[in-house]
Each structure stands twice: as structure tokens, then as C-alpha cells.
Chains A and B, each alone.
Chain A
Amino acid sequence: METESEGYRKIITLLRASKPELSSAEKLESEIMQRIAGKSRAVVAADSFISFLFGWTYIGWVRRSLITVSIILVAFFIWQQSLIVRQINVLNSRLLISEIENVKYQPRVDGKKLLMMGKSGSGFSDGEIEFSEDKIEKLLESYATLKSDYGELLKLINEDPELKKLIEEKADQNRIKKFKL
């Protein structure tokens, strides 16, 4: 190579012939051995401590018993988890049924409209049906009036046996007419 001069070549040749070496190699070797021995002593001490703590796990029957117990515990845990999941599913389905059966309404935030939840498969269509608040109030009022009037009417009929008999006869006649039709 162009960069190498004759002097450079000579120096490299001489350096290759007498490579640098560390002095007092024996001392260095003994120091290394001491460090290694010190580290190995530390490793042995750690091993013996671990052996003292957990050495009993290497006894055959203890190990087999531990394995058996751990398998039983794991199986129990899996069974328990599956049971809990099943119970949660049952409870969820119950809650859903009770929610569907109760047709509820609740005022919206604006307070002007009511929200009625539709029951699937019944007279309501799926989803939400909105009524005005006035209409719902009127409906509830007329239902309450009708209920009280009906109660009073039943009370009157029960108190008067002749009236009761007359009504029953009329009802029988209506049934016969319907049947003929």
C-alpha cells in the first residue's frame, strides 16, 4: 500500500517479533485465581443457602405429594371458575327477562317527552316509541278513573242480589247470541 513507508514496515516487523507482554504474569495469574475462587465461594454459599431453604422439595414423596396437591388445586380452581361463570350467566338472563317484562317509562333529560321501551313480539314494535308527556298523563289518569269506577260498580252489584241476578241473566243472553252468530 502507498501509505506504508519503509520505516513503518521495519517497526511493524520488530513489533511482531517482540509483542508486548504484561510483566509479572505469575502475580497476575494468582490474582485472577483468587478472584475466581472468591466468586466460586460466593456461588457455593448461595447454593447451600438455597439448598437449605428448598432442599426438602427434592425428597421423592414430598415432591410427588406437592405435584398431586397442585393438580387438585388447579382442577378445583377451574371447576370453581366455571361454576361462577355459569351462575353469572343465569343471573344475567334473569335480570334481562325481568327488564323485558316490565314496560317502563322514564322522563328524558328535557322532561318534555317520555321514553317507552318496546317489548319484542308484543303489540309494540322493537326499539323506542315516544309519547308526549301530556298524553301519558291523560292515559294514566283515565286508567285510574276507570279502575276506581269499576271497583265501585262491582261493589254495588255485590251488595244488590237482584241486580246481580239480572246482570248475570243479561250476560248469559249475550253469550247465547254470540254463539248463534
Chain B
Amino acid sequence: MVGDEDNAKDIVQETMVAVWQKIGMIKSAVAYRSWVYRIVLNKCYDQLRRSKNNPEFPADDKTWKHLSEIISGVNPIPFEKEDSARILDILTNRLSPYQKAVFILSEIEEMSHDEIAEITGMTKTIIKANLYHARKKISEMVEKYLK
């Protein structure tokens, strides 16, 4: 989500400390998952806001060629864990923070729109709109570079 492993680690650390400090406030186990996701998401938004002016890094031709080879096979080889982060970052690089959050929660974490609404505080209509734009942008990118 933040496009940098060190930043991601910092967010994980801060989230775990916040969870440890405020765990007593949670009344039910059901709310726990959403609460943790919400903390992570807010910290990601903060991080993205801080690194707003950072230049984007477009994927080079080599990366797209490699990606094309992987997915063009009949039985595509699963990505390495390290590659997954890199590919996800490339794909979501042009998305807004909200589109990125909705895309990751819906498409990668496979959450329902109700769960996403609880975590992000967005309405279902906004979630659908963000998801539509995210899918469209990524599909366009995939069509452009993987043909």
C-alpha cells in the first residue's frame, strides 16, 4: 500500500504498539479485525500524504516483460513474495490512496463491501466507484504493457 518495505515495517510496528495500548477498548472479537485494519489504513494514508511529492517510479520494460512471461504461460508460476510487493506497487502506483485501499482490501484481501465500508468509513457506492476506477486503470495498464 505504501510502496516501501521500511515504511510498511514502521506502520506495522506503530500499529502493534497502538493495539497493545488500546486493546482494552475493544468489546468484541468481531470488531477487532476491522479495528486493526482501520489503524493500519489510517497510518498508510498518513504515510502516503507525507510521501505525496515523491516522484513515481514507472516500471521498466524488463519488469513488464518478465511479468508478461509469467502470466502468458498455460500454468503461470506463482510470484515470489518479494515480487508480489513490487508488482502490486507497480499496478497501484497511479491510483489515489482511496482507490488503492479499496482495491487491496477487495481484490487482494478478498473482503466484502460491508467489511470495507466498516474499515474505511466509505459508503458502498463510493467503494464501488473507487473499485471501478482502480480496476479500469490497472486493466488499461496491463493491456498496454503486457501485449
> Which A residues are closer than 8 A to B by beta carbons?
1, 3-5, 7-8, 10-12, 14-23, 28, 31-32, 35-36, 39
Given contacts A16-B108, A21-B81, contact A11 B87 (CB under 8 A): yes
Residues of chain B at interface, number, CB under 8 A: 35
Among B69-125, those with CB < 8 Å from A are 70-71, 76, 78-85, 87-88, 91, 107-108, 110
- Whole-angstrom distance between the alpha carbons of A32 and B78 in the complex? 31
- Whole-angstrom distance between the alpha carbons of A36 and B13 in the complex? 9
Q: Is the CB of A16 within 8 A of B16?
A: no
8 additional contacts (CB under 8 A) given A12-B108, A17-B79, A20-B84: A7-B139, A12-B107, A16-B110, A18-B83, A19-B81, A28-B9, A28-B13, A39-B21
- Whole-angstrom distance between the alpha carbons of A56 and B84 in the complex? 59
- Chain A residue contacts of B76, Cβ below 8 A: 10, 14
Q: Is the CB of A19 within 8 A of B132?
A: no
- Whole-angstrom distance between the alpha carbons of A12 and B5 in the complex? 21
- Whole-angstrom distance between the alpha carbons of A12 and B79 in the complex? 11
Q: Is the CB of A5 within 8 A of B143?
A: yes
Among B10-65, those with CB < 8 Å from A are 12-13, 16-17, 20-21
Given contacts A15-B108, A19-B108, contact A32 B12 (CB under 8 A): yes
Could you jot down 29 A-B contacts, CB within 8 Å? A3-B139, A4-B139, A5-B143, A7-B139, A7-B143, A7-B146, A8-B139, A10-B71, A12-B107, A12-B108, A14-B70, A14-B84, A15-B107, A15-B108, A16-B108, A16-B110, A17-B78, A18-B80, A19-B81, A19-B108, A20-B81, A21-B85, A22-B8, A22-B12, A23-B81, A23-B82, A31-B13, A35-B17, A39-B21
Q: Is the CB of B84 within 8 A of A32?
A: no
A47 CB, nearest partner CB in chain B, Å: 15
- Chain B residue contacts of A22, Cβ below 8 A: 5, 8-9, 12
- Whole-angstrom distance between the alpha carbons of A19 and B146 in the complex? 21
- Chain A residue contacts of B88, Cβ below 8 A: 15, 20
Q: Is the CB of B13 within 8 A of A35?
A: yes
A88 CB, nearest partner CB in chain B, Å: 51
Q: Is the CB of B78 within 8 A of A14?
A: yes
Q: Is the CB of B81 within 8 A of A18?
A: yes
